[in-house]
């Protein structure tokens, strides 16, 4: 179980509703105040719900874990501004609104770039960094994700189509455009019913199509000083995001980075190998507490 909520962390033009989040563990009296809090940012087209199980496991010993929906994702509000500077500012505001003092921040994929951006631009805000299956280089899926999104946009669903039927139709209709079944199932989590019962895509689809050029930058070393606090980079051995040549770039920008490669795991390594993933995160966080 978790504590759901919403924080007014986004600009006023977002109706003041802000970021939707969940906090673990459920009972506040079980939180161990000696343990550094952990804030988790999901990836593009993801949501906080995808990290429910691993968040519970990370928080099982009393560590406070906060998982939130990024702007234009999940239950958070929509914005015409959709870039990493804005998302890093959202994360910074969230940390402030929770009254957290130097938490550990962790992000997967797009969320990984978000946490890297905050760590490099405002290192005083955090104690340590965990980056999940992404390196500070140009994304290898930039063109593919644009193609996938364009194919998703072309789909339409007749009135009175149920959500189950729509997902089945979408899976069939997109199977050639998105041949990776795991990735396709991931995209289909963004099909929802609107207030009138009509199936539609979450707002992230249009937000991405309108801003995709701003969402795949390379973090240039010239733009920031290196982040000299502890960092953990976790990659899936079979992920397209894991390239041995990129590790030199990781070490150049994050000189204290520890690299962990999880065997037989892909990009969604927290789902492919949850036990190994949780063990790596908990061990790193415990080391930070002990340092």
Which residue among 42, 73, 108, 267 is the active-site one?
A: 267
93 is catalytic: no
Contacts of 288 (CB under 8 A, 6+ apart): 36, 104, 127, 128, 230
185 is catalytic: no
* Residue showing tokens 């003041």: 16
Strand ranges (E), the chain = 3-7, 19-24, 38-41, 65-68, 104-108, 128-132, 191-193, 199-201, 231-236, 257-262
Quick one: DSSP state of residue 158?
A: -
Q: What DSSP assignment string belongs to 85-103?
A: HHHHHHHHHHHHHTT-SS-
Nearest to 14 by CA among 85, 75, 102, 101: 75
Which residue among 93, 206, 271, 286 is the active-site one?
A: 206
Alpha carbon distance 48, 65 (integer Å): 11
Contacts of 154 (CB under 8 A, 6+ apart): none
267 is catalytic: yes
Which residue among 92, 109, 139, 149 is the active-site one?
A: 109
Mapped onto helix, strand or coil, the DSSP state of residue 238 is: coil
Alpha carbon distance 278, 43 (integer Å): 17
Per DSSP, helices labelled H in 214-256 are: 247-253
Q: What are phi and psi of 64, to 5 degrees?
A: -75, 125
Residues labelled catalytic? 109, 206, 267
């Amino acid at each position: 179980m978790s504590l759901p909520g919403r924080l007014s962390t986004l600009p006023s033009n977002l109706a003041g509703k802000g970021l939707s989040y969940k906090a673990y563990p459920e009972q506040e009296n079980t939180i161990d105040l000696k343990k550094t809090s952990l804030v988790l940012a999901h990836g593009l087209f993801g949501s906080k719900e995808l990290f429910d199980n691993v968040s519970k496991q990370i928080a099982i010993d009393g560590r406070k874990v906060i998982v939130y929906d990024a702007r234009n994702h999940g239950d958070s509000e929509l914005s015409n501004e959709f870039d990493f500077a804005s998302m890093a500012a959202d994360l910074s505001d969230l940390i402030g609104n929770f009254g957290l003092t130097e938490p550990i921040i962790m992000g997967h994929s797009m969320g990984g770039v978000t946490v890297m951006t905050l760590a490099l631009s405002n290192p005083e805000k955090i104690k340590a960094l965990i980056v999940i299956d992404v390196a500070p280089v140009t994304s290898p899926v930039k063109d593919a994700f644009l193609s996938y999104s364009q194919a998703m946009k072309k789909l339409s669903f007749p009135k009175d189509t149920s959500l189950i039927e729509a997902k089945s139709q979408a899976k069939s209709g997109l199977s050639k455009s998105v041949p990776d079944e795991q990735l396709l199932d991931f995209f289909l989590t963004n099909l929802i019913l609107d207030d009138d019962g009509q199936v539609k895509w979450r707002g992230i689809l249009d937000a991405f199509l309108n801003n995709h050029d701003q969402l795949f930058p390379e973090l240039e070393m010239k733009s920031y000083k290196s982040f000299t606090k502890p960092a953990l980079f976790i990659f899936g051995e079979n992920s397209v995001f894991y390239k041995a040549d990129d590790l030199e770039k990781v070490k150049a920008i994050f000189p204290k980075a520890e690299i962990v490669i999880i065997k037989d795991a892909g990009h969604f390594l927290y789902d492919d190998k949850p036990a190994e993933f949780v063990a790596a995160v908990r061990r790193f966080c415990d080391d930070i507490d002990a340092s």
